[in-house]
Structure 1
Amino acid sequence: MSNDFAYDENWASIYEQFTSIRGRVAEADETAAFLERYCRGGSALELGIGDGRVAVPLSERGVRVEGIDNSDSMLKLLARRTGLITTWKADIGDFKSEKRYNLVYCAYNTLTVLVTREAQISCFRSIIDSLQDDGTVVIELPVPDVGNFIGGQRTTTTLVDGENTFLTSELHDPLSQNVVSTHLWFTGTSVRSLPYRCRYVYHQELDTMAECVGLKLAERWGDWARGVFTEASRRHISVYRRAGL
């Protein structure tokens, strides 16, 4: 990820709870099942491996999973969870690997943490250098939602339940496709301020960046259960292979 943002201790200390509330922990097994078909009995590299939310269930399916992350705090969480996954600290926008993998994947919205187009294309270059000739690349991204900004700003309530309230304040720069946000998490009598910055990417632009390094779109789905990707989809899972295969 870029040097502009890392999941520091403030994020790491609540990451599992945060992703659980957002429904991401519950779908981890479904994600692993989707990914396994592209590397069954082989190897996989996760970009932005975090606490191993996806990597651990994928490894339990017999895949040799390795991963990189730019956050020491997140890598420590994974190390406490399992010692069976090899990891190293690196920037996903410019990493080197001596190995070649059957699958390279980037889940959730991790690619968008690279906040320039150049950094995102550089990530694709690193991916292609780490991929077996017949390997597969899988990237999950949200469909950009840039409506309802007034003067480049908006504040939304993203979740309210019996114990938690999430408010998100955002600043939008359409020229750079950057959104700088702060999540305010109210629970009980406490409040956490969680900063975040991203560069959103439309799926057509993602395809173009992939084509720049010799990849082509093979499949696109609306979710990890292989739902159809439509104009109403809020995210997509895009599958790429080398052009010519």
Structure 2
Amino acid sequence: MENQGPESYGEHNADVYDEWHAALDPTDAVDRLAELIEDGPPGPVLELAVGTGRVTIPLAARGVDLRGIDASVAMVERMRAKPGGERIPVTIGDMADVDPEGDDRFAMVFVVFSTLFFLLTQEEQVRCFTNAARRLVPGGRFVLECPMPDVARYRHDQNLEVHQVGLDRVRLVAVRHDPVEQRFDGHHVLITNNGIRLAPASMRYAWPSELDLMARLAGLERRHRWGGWRREPFTAEGTYVTVYEKPAAPVP
């Protein structure tokens, strides 16, 4: 899809995002992130692509000094309309730049769900790793939640799934796969008696080994890779969590 920018997903999907992802319980993510924060060096925490605050708000409610970045004004407005969301400082900008207002260094930078893959080129993803590492204190962590790419589901590099069928609505997901660019371009399609609603999304997926190389180029070391927020064993299916760490400064 043409004319995709960092803000495109949020601007097109903000009004339906919480409804369509209502089944995503953030409790496990918040518990594990809070544990990693407590176990790590002191300092503020930065979330990339805060969205509507699904993880941001409950984590901040635990007393975490939390900041955020998001490219979409519409998504941030949704977050700020929720209890507690208005108290979280958010910079509007491209998460690849990892450039919040101020000169703070962070004890943790994290990005959840599949959001890292909304950076649509390898160059942007590498830049995100590099800038995250630059803003971390020694011993700080860069935490990613990513889906394992499931390219086998794309017959002839396309896929159509039915996500909801009701008396007054049908919701479909239609996706094209470009294996050369490692890219998915698709739409959530909502069909109701009032018409058809399209919600576009594009992603550039990366394999775990590719992410590890990006981390290494940025000077980060992998500490953990789990098959989920409950520290499940890592497998080739589903969503996984990786914790990278900035090496502590050597003792003079």
Query: What TM-score comes out, normalization by structure 2 length?
Result: 0.87
**Does the CA contact (< 8 Å) of 2:46 and 2:66 recur in 1?**
yes
Match in the other structure for 2:89: 86
Structure-2 change in CA distance of 1:228 and 1:150 (3 Å): closer
Any idea what SS the aligned residue of 1:230 has? Answer: coil
**Does the CA contact (< 8 Å) of 2:9 and 2:200 recur in 1?**
no
Matching residue within 108, 128, 135 for 1:130: 135
Match in the other structure for 1:238: 242
**Does the CA contact (< 8 Å) of 1:138 and 1:237 recur in 2?**
yes
Structure 2: which amino acid aligns with 1:240? Y
Matches for 1:1-245 after TM superposition, within 5 Å: 3=5, 6-20=8-22, 23-24=23-24, 27-40=25-38, 42-81=43-82, 82-97=85-100, 98-157=103-162, 159-160=163-164, 162=166, 165-186=170-191, 191-231=196-236, 233-243=237-247
Higher percent of residues as helix = 2
**Does the CA contact (< 8 Å) of 2:6 and 2:94 recur in 1?**
no
Q: How many residues align?
A: 238
What is the deviation of 1:153?
Answer: 2.1
What is the deviation of 1:29?
Answer: 2.1
Any idea what SS the aligned residue of 2:96 has? Answer: coil
**Does the CA contact (< 8 Å) of 1:38 and 1:102 recur in 2?**
no
Structure 1: which amino acid aligns with 2:245? R
**Does the CA contact (< 8 Å) of 1:5 and 1:197 recur in 2?**
no
**Does the CA contact (< 8 Å) of 1:42 and 1:63 recur in 2?**
no
What is the deviation of 1:228?
Answer: 1.4
Any idea what SS the aligned residue of 1:3 has? Answer: coil
Structure 1: which amino acid aligns with 2:67? E
Structure 1: which amino acid aligns with 2:31? A
Q: How far apart in 2 are the matches of 1:225 and 1:46?
A: 20
**Does the CA contact (< 8 Å) of 2:48 and 2:98 recur in 1?**
no
Q: Which moved more, 1:78-87 or 1:55-64?
A: 78-87
RMSD over aligned CA atoms reads: 2.0
Any idea what SS the aligned residue of 2:37 has? Answer: coil
Identity %, equivalent residues = 31
What is the deviation of 1:235?
Answer: 1.1
**Does the CA contact (< 8 Å) of 1:168 and 1:184 recur in 2?**
yes
* Unpaired runs of at least 5, structure 2: none
Q: Which moved more, 1:83-92 or 1:181-190?
A: 181-190
